[in-house]
Structure 1
Amino acid sequence: MVQYPFCALLMLSLLIFLATIPNAFFTQACLTTGYLRADAYQTRCPGVEAIVFAGVEQAVADDPRMAASLLRLHFHDCFVNGCDASVLLDDTLTFEGEKTAAPNLNSLRGFEVIDAIKSELEFACPETVSCADILAIAARDSVVLSGGPTWQVLMGRRDSLFANKGLANKNIPAPNSDVATLVSKFQNVGLSQKDMVALSGGHTIGKARCSTFSTRLKGSSSSDSPGLDKDFLASLQQLCSEFDNNNMTLAELDFVTPATFDNQYYTNLLSGEGLLASDQALVAEDGIATRNLVETYAEDPQAFFEDFKTSMVKMGSLKPLTGKSGQIRHNCRIMN
């Protein structure tokens, strides 16, 4: 008879015990010990991604611009204390919500879409799926529905108990930012220069109000608006002067393929047809490194897709609340 040392017997018993524990235990363990994972809701809400996709699909069918709006909503959330759904909170007696911050006021859209999806999930899986995870999944689905790539969304986030208007004003890049400012703001939240250029490609869908690039329109030639193509400048001046409505007229961020998630955005930059100053800055003389990335993405759409997916997962993993931090909100607009 083979004699096993006591420690070996103890280890063998432990392995046998672990093998008998249901997968649900490990799923819950990952949710309570600070990990994000693709199958976080596999046992507790297996239909979560299908429910979110159906909600996003309907919203985009009703309003194609909503795809870009939901992608932007996730971006603006993650840049303020991480991806914690703080951007969805309304004002309270103790704090001002981020919705009224300068980069968000009268600009962010899609709150009612998230509300509708949350309602469906509360019916299917009460008190289970966080608003922060809904934002992350909806952003991915918006890209897919626009013809872009898909990726596995890591889940298990919890929702914040407060919002930070001041930090939203400080952290979210402005549409007139130069390369140095863009790089700094991305690095401040844990994203690289490469992430910044790849994620800027999200501007291949969506629209922007004339007020966000009005300073570029005051010149009489492209020399007054560095890097901007002369004919493109003239077309923008005409568009934004046609209606006197406080610069609320909308222009396509990518006028060539405005509703398709592709690499045309980068081709536009190289042609001097970037709508926002922060877009065109990526190929300016002081942005040689960023220009090299723009050229790569313009030439190789697959390289853009791969880097965009990687950067979206990285951004979605910024400072998530997990374990017992935060809460799972019943209503994304207010705390429980």
Structure 2
Amino acid sequence: MHVIAVLALDGVVAFDLATPLEVFGRTRLADGTTPYDVRVCGTGEEIDAGAFAVRPPHGLDAVAAADTIILPGCADPASGVPDEVTAALRTAAARGARLASICTGAFVLAATGLLDGRRATTHWAAAGMLAERFPAVRVDPDVLYVDNGPVLTSAGAAAGLDLCLHLIRRDHGSAVAADAARLSVMPLEREGGQAQFIVPQAPPTPRGSDMEPLLRWLAENCGTDLTLERIAAHAGMSTRTLNRRFREQTGTTPLQWLHRARVRRAQHLLETTGDTVDRVAAMVGFGSPTAFRERFRRVVGTSPQAYRAAFRGRTERVGSSGPARPVSR
């Protein structure tokens, strides 16, 4: 039987801890047998899991001997990793064990050096910290999980479910994974990545910079026909000077900044109105619905239709100006 060790360290996120226990523990093969032996492991001490405390029944020796090791997230990813934990994980990896992290568990995995030179992900809110603390890791904040073969990482919360289902499919095929997905009331595959779950907002405006008034004007007028020439004229400078100073202070070009502002505005409209996708495209300043769809997918990681289906509130508008009415989904 395939042994899965779920490593619970102090400050473990309860949701991340429970996810692999439930998903792998309830998995059944076609003949009804259980393919996984799931064990909660720790350093031998009682640990704080937020709303409760837990004393893992298995120690680090079980981690070193497991076939797969799951690293749940911790509430404080900057808290550091005990040396004995790092040693146990490295021993397991050298023996050929599979290691997978959920959410900020990527910080524990990165501390072993096993993510150096590899692409990895974590919760989008912690991606910047992971990249800063472990510059040898190629952090991708937009995906739900990354499969590097023996080393895998996933984003936060529900992305841990995606990762576990992916591992089941790797081990036992799509039929078994689909059954596990149904038990979790989850699709076997979700469209898009983490970008669709980030709170829609315009790109940040650098406070105190001389670009601040221009960026505010761009955000307020993103639904109008703005060309580079018109933006430069409003700023009172040449297009060449505008591009140079804009990149110096924002790290991008005026038009790229504008495109992202338009997409963020479109996300809000898709969530809160019943306007068609084509109308939303026009309202946020895209002259072509096709160009809007391509840009939206590039920024958000999914289509406008799929985004609306996932994030639409429980009220919708009748037409573009009619009253809101409740809907059932």
Q: Provide TM-score, normalisation by structure 1.
A: 0.22
More strand by share: 2
Larger RCO of the pair (alpha carbons < 8 Å, separation 6+): 1
Q: Provide TM-score, normalisation by structure 2.
A: 0.23
More helix by share: 1
